[in-house]
Chain A
């Protein structure tokens, strides 16, 4: 080699070129304007709401003042953004590049914070406006206080049927899903028929919509006059149908969980003389369970919602009950109640899943 330096020691080609930071002033100014516009829109919305809700002037005014005040607090970050943007420009003209970049970055963050909250306030205003438009037609259709009051008790008690179906199905699904998963992973040449059966089942039941399975079982089994099975009540048909369908999903969740346990764990257990089933029971499944819980809960959340599908076979669940109210009153507010009930049971579970996933990720990093 003739060159005096090796490629290993070649350094970067001099200091990086400094480009001017993107101007932050326009964004900052836009955020101030957005805050002021949102306040004005709040006032307009309040005026039109009190027009369609006669006699509720003070309440509406109070609400509007709260929203407007909340939006006005956004003036602080917006104005701070303008100041930072100015500071950035000055610093840049004085060749203080690092200061300029830092100030511009602060200005942008403040401006976008204000803009983001303005957007949230506008969405809220839009929703209020939508409810009140056309002389409160939307509000009356979906949120009629009187209809809600009348239907609440019976709808809520019919919701017990949904919960019963969900809870019983979940217990059965755990067992059925695990059996399917183990069958799908049956080892060796002898396990092949079992694997084939399980795979066919899982593929099939994941392909067919749950509502069709419920329909086929709910109407088909009574017609087919199968001993015992045909004499079950519609609620049990629903449980059976949902177990068959969701067993296929949960089997895949279990399989993924079992396969995520490192093979070294099995090797270690087997090398200690544990049999295949003892290894599964004491080493693999306990570790798989931890990883399986979040996706399993997700499947259970959608199962709980799918209990509403049983209305196609005439089971009186909350949805069916609310539809009776809806047609009696020409008003959908009872159905809104059902939606609310589902939200009520689902959101805590969704948050729980988030927390479990976060915990699992922390554990993954710690390992």
Chain B
């Protein structure tokens, strides 16, 4: 059974329709990647799955339960699905440990000492044990993004949404973040991610989806999408990526 099911989802901002009937499913332990030009709707789709945006029509189901529309228990949904953002969005007024421990404390009611100890264990696992007591702005972008991933994992979600988590990073910092995602994929974490890192998408994804102006034009295994795209628009998009030296 798919863990995330997106069913004929439409989303409009005012008069502009940003998502125009998206159907997509993510199986448990699967990594699905969204690619597409800027403005094609990747971030919007991820935000809808996390309940950060209301959808205009269609339905989203997570773990078999309806996760869109009126009366959705968004707080429960978000316990199942974590999200990491392009610009990290760490809380600048808390140190790293507090950032990670906040949700376990305030959502799951874990006592502070226990939540912080668990946070330190998780931070150590991504090589950030020595940064635990720093403030976020004392960390490099790559370190901040690793903290953001740990923060999303601290609530023990069953799936992760990753929205271009490396595109605000200097090139030499991208690898350390991707290494963690790779490890999560190997551990069987269910993930839906948007990225411009085509090499990485090809390597880690079970399924790649090409979004074009709010429509899911083509989906398939990475070898097929990158090696033998069926749609002319997919070919044009990938050609531009190659010209930009990104593939």
Which A residues are closer than 8 A to B by beta carbons?
Answer: 262, 264-265, 267-275, 278, 282-283, 286-287, 290, 366-367
Given contacts A273-B155, A274-B102, contact A268 B89 (CB under 8 A): yes
Contact across chains for A290 and B78 when beta carbons are under 8 A apart:
no
- Besides A271-B50, A272-B151, A274-B102, 13 new A-B residue pairs in contact (Cβ under 8 A), listed by A number: A267-B89, A269-B91, A271-B83, A271-B85, A272-B78, A272-B82, A272-B107, A272-B152, A272-B155, A273-B103, A273-B107, A278-B106, A290-B93
Report Cα–Cα, A340/B50, bound state, in Å: 59
A-B contacts, 30 of them at CB < 8 A, read: A264-B85, A264-B89, A265-B89, A267-B52, A267-B89, A268-B85, A268-B90, A268-B91, A268-B148, A269-B102, A270-B51, A270-B78, A271-B50, A271-B52, A271-B82, A272-B82, A272-B103, A272-B107, A272-B151, A272-B152, A273-B103, A273-B107, A274-B75, A274-B107, A275-B75, A286-B93, A287-B91, A287-B92, A290-B93, A367-B92
Given contacts A271-B82, A272-B155, contact A366 B137 (CB under 8 A): yes
Report Cα–Cα, A278/B93, bound state, in Å: 15
Give the total of B residues in contact with A, Cβ under 8 Å: 27
Q: Which residues of A contact B51 (CB under 8 A)?
A: 270
Report Cα–Cα, A333/B205, bound state, in Å: 83
Q: Which residues of A contact B103 (CB under 8 A)?
A: 272-274
Contact across chains for B89 and A273 when beta carbons are under 8 A apart:
no
Q: Which residues of A contact B42 (CB under 8 A)?
A: none
Contact across chains for A271 and B92 when beta carbons are under 8 A apart:
no
Q: Which residues of A contact B118 (CB under 8 A)?
A: none
Report Cα–Cα, A286/B91, bound state, in Å: 10
Would you call B20 an interface residue if the criterion is a C-beta within 8 Å of the partner chain's C-beta atoms? no
Given contacts A273-B78, A273-B79, A273-B103, contact A283 B91 (CB under 8 A): yes
| Smallest beta-carbon distance B202→chain A, Å | 27
Report Cα–Cα, A367/B136, bound state, in Å: 10
For window 47-86 of chain B, which residues contact chain A by CB distance below 8 Å?
Answer: 47, 50-52, 74-76, 78-79, 82-83, 85
Report Cα–Cα, A273/B151, bound state, in Å: 12
Interface string of B172-213 (1 = CB under 8 A from A): 000000000000000000000000000000000000000000
Contact across chains for B106 and A274 when beta carbons are under 8 A apart:
yes
| Smallest beta-carbon distance A143→chain B, Å | 49
Q: Which residues of A contact B78 (CB under 8 A)?
A: 270-273
Report Cα–Cα, A273/B75, bound state, in Å: 5
Report Cα–Cα, A287/B92, bound state, in Å: 8
Q: Which residues of A contact B137 (CB under 8 A)?
A: 366-367
Q: Which residues of A contact B90 (CB under 8 A)?
A: 268
Report Cα–Cα, A366/B82, bound state, in Å: 29
7 A-B pairs closest in CB distance: A268-B89, A272-B103, A271-B83, A273-B78, A264-B89, A273-B107, A273-B79
Report Cα–Cα, A269/B50, bound state, in Å: 12
